[in-house]
A and B are shown apart, each in its own frame.
Chain A
Amino acid sequence: MTASQAQFDWPYPIKWGEEQRVDTDVLVLGGGIAGCWAAIAVARNKGTAVTLVEKARTIRSGAGGSGCDHWEHAVTNPCCPLTPEEITQAQIDSNDGYNNGISHYIEAKEGYDRLLDLEKMGGKIRDTEDEFEGAEFRDEKTKLLFAYDYVNRYTIRTWGTTFKPALHAECRRLNVGILDRTMVTALLTEDGKQGGRVVGAVGFHVHTGRFVVIRAKASILCTSRPSRLWLFTPDLAGISEFRPMQACGDGHAISWRVGAEFTMLEKAVRAEWSGARSFPPYGTGNTHNTWYPCNMVDATGRELPWVDRDGNTLETTADRCRPAPGQKFFLKGGGETWFQKYEFLGPDLPPTEELIRMGYKLPFYADLSSLPEMERKAIWGLMIGEESKTKIPIKRMYEDAGFDPSKDQLRSYGDSWWSAKFKPSERQFFGLPGGLVNNWELRTNLEGLYAAGDTLFASDCHGHAAATGYYAGRHAARYAMSAQEPMIDENQVQRERKSTYAPAKREKGIAWKDLNVSITKIMQEYCGAVKSDELLTQGLNVLQDLREGEGASVFARNPHELMRSLEVLNILTNAEIVIHSSLVRKASCKQLHFMRSDSTEMDPPEWHKFMVVSRNGHGVRLRELPIDYYAPMGENYEKHNQDYIRENSI
Chain B
Amino acid sequence: MTDKALAVGDTDVFIPVSINEETCIGCNLCVMVCQPDVFVPSIDPGGVPVVLYPSECWYVGDCVDVCPVPDCIALHVMDKNKVIWKRKESGEEFQLS
Known: A6-B9, A11-B43, A275-B59. A59 touches B52 (CB 8 A): no
What is the CA–CA distance of A3 and B38 in the complex, to the nearest angstrom?
11
CB–CB A238/B36 < 8 A: yes
The reply on A65 being an interface residue by CB < 8 A is yes
B-chain residues with CB within 8 Å of residue A66 when the two chains form the complex: 60-62, 65
What is the CA–CA distance of A4 and B34 in the complex, to the nearest angstrom?
16
B-chain residues with CB within 8 Å of residue A7 when the two chains form the complex: 6-9
The reply on A381 being an interface residue by CB < 8 A is no
- Tell me which of B7, B10, B64 contacts A9 (CB under 8 A): B7
Interface string of A167-203 (1 = CB under 8 A from B): 0000000000000010000000000000000000000
What is the CA–CA distance of A14 and B5 in the complex, to the nearest angstrom?
7
- B8-66 CB contacts (< 8 Å) to partner A: 8-15, 18-19, 21, 32-38, 40-43, 48, 50-62, 64-65
CB–CB A410/B83 < 8 A: yes
- Tell me which of A9, A65, A246 contacts B4 (CB under 8 A): A9
CB–CB B48/A1 < 8 A: yes
What is the CA–CA distance of A367 and B58 in the complex, to the nearest angstrom?
28
A511 vs chain B, min Cβ distance (A):
10
What band does the interface of chain B fall in when counting residues whose beta carbon is under 8 Å from A? 35 or more
CB–CB B1/A3 < 8 A: no
CB–CB A397/B85 < 8 A: no
A290 vs chain B, min Cβ distance (A):
15
The reply on A411 being an interface residue by CB < 8 A is yes
Known: A393-B75, A397-B75. A16 touches B1 (CB 8 A): yes
A-chain residues with CB within 8 Å of residue B58 when the two chains form the complex: 238-239, 244-245, 389
Known: A12-B40, A66-B62, A275-B59. A409 touches B85 (CB 8 A): yes
The reply on A209 being an interface residue by CB < 8 A is yes
CB–CB B96/A238 < 8 A: no
CB–CB A557/B35 < 8 A: no
CB–CB A393/B61 < 8 A: yes
What is the CA–CA distance of A496 and B65 in the complex, to the nearest angstrom?
38
A184 vs chain B, min Cβ distance (A):
16
- Tell me which of B7, B19, B34, B61 contacts A8 (CB under 8 A): B7
Identity of the chain A residue whose Cβ is nearest the Cβ of B11 in the assembled complex? A5
B-chain residues with CB within 8 Å of residue A275 when the two chains form the complex: 59
What is the CA–CA distance of A16 and B37 in the complex, to the nearest angstrom?
19
B-chain residues with CB within 8 Å of residue A402 when the two chains form the complex: 94
A379 vs chain B, min Cβ distance (A):
15
B-chain residues with CB within 8 Å of residue A280 when the two chains form the complex: 59, 77, 81, 83
Give the secondary structure class of B's interface: loop
- Tell me which of A236, A284, A403, A557 contacts B8 (CB under 8 A): A557
Known: A235-B13, A279-B83, A367-B88. A2 touches B56 (CB 8 A): no
A-chain residues with CB within 8 Å of residue B40 when the two chains form the complex: 10-12
A-chain residues with CB within 8 Å of residue B4 when the two chains form the complex: 9-10, 14
CB–CB A365/B86 < 8 A: yes
- Tell me which of A5, A60, A397 contacts B62 (CB under 8 A): A60
B51 vs chain A, min Cβ distance (A):
6
A148 vs chain B, min Cβ distance (A):
25
B-chain residues with CB within 8 Å of residue A246 when the two chains form the complex: 35-36
A32 vs chain B, min Cβ distance (A):
10
What is the CA–CA distance of A181 and B53 in the complex, to the nearest angstrom?
16
CB–CB B56/A237 < 8 A: yes
Known: A244-B36, A560-B53. A8 touches B81 (CB 8 A): no
The reply on A234 being an interface residue by CB < 8 A is yes
B-chain residues with CB within 8 Å of residue A505 when the two chains form the complex: 1
A-chain residues with CB within 8 Å of residue B36 when the two chains form the complex: 56, 238, 244-246
A-chain residues with CB within 8 Å of residue B97 when the two chains form the complex: 401
CB–CB B51/A392 < 8 A: no
Interface string of A516-560 (1 = CB under 8 A from B): 000000000000000000000000000000000000000001111
The reply on A476 being an interface residue by CB < 8 A is no
What is the CA–CA distance of A163 and B38 in the complex, to the nearest angstrom?
23
B-chain residues with CB within 8 Å of residue A301 when the two chains form the complex: 88
What is the CA–CA distance of A401 and B50 in the complex, to the nearest angstrom?
27
Known: A2-B18, A12-B40, A60-B33. A410 touches B85 (CB 8 A): yes
A-chain residues with CB within 8 Å of residue B32 when the two chains form the complex: 57, 59
Interface string of A384-419 (1 = CB under 8 A from B): 000011011100111001110001111101000000
The reply on A369 being an interface residue by CB < 8 A is yes
- A422-459 CB contacts (< 8 Å) to partner B: none
The reply on A206 being an interface residue by CB < 8 A is yes
A60 vs chain B, min Cβ distance (A):
5
CB–CB B52/A209 < 8 A: no
The reply on A132 being an interface residue by CB < 8 A is no
What is the CA–CA distance of A16 and B4 in the complex, to the nearest angstrom?
9
What is the CA–CA distance of A546 and B91 in the complex, to the nearest angstrom?
55
The reply on B79 being an interface residue by CB < 8 A is no
CB–CB B83/A56 < 8 A: no
The reply on A632 being an interface residue by CB < 8 A is no
CB–CB A17/B1 < 8 A: yes
CB–CB B55/A388 < 8 A: no
CB–CB B81/A558 < 8 A: no
- A1-34 CB contacts (< 8 Å) to partner B: 1-12, 14, 16-17
CB–CB B6/A409 < 8 A: no
CB–CB A4/B11 < 8 A: yes
B28 vs chain A, min Cβ distance (A):
11
What is the CA–CA distance of A396 and B63 in the complex, to the nearest angstrom?
14
What is the CA–CA distance of A495 and B90 in the complex, to the nearest angstrom?
69
The reply on A273 being an interface residue by CB < 8 A is no
CB–CB B37/A3 < 8 A: no
CB–CB A3/B7 < 8 A: no
CB–CB B60/A392 < 8 A: yes
Given contact pairs A66-B65, A365-B86, a sample of 11 additional A-B residue pairs in the complex whose CB atoms are under 8 Å apart: A4-B50, A8-B6, A10-B7, A11-B40, A16-B2, A237-B55, A238-B55, A238-B58, A408-B87, A409-B86, A410-B85
**Which residues of A are at the interface with B, using a C-beta cutoff of 8 A?**
1-12, 14, 16-17, 56-57, 59-62, 65-66, 181, 206, 209, 234-239, 244-246, 275, 279-280, 283-284, 301, 365, 367, 369, 388-389, 391-393, 396-398, 401-403, 407-411, 413, 501, 504-505, 557-560
**Which residues of B are at the interface with A, using a C-beta cutoff of 8 A?**
1-15, 18-19, 21, 32-38, 40-43, 48, 50-62, 64-65, 75, 77, 81, 83-89, 94, 96-97
Top 8 nearest A-B pairs (CB, nearest first) are A392-B61, A4-B9, A10-B5, A558-B5, A56-B35, A6-B9, A238-B56, A408-B85
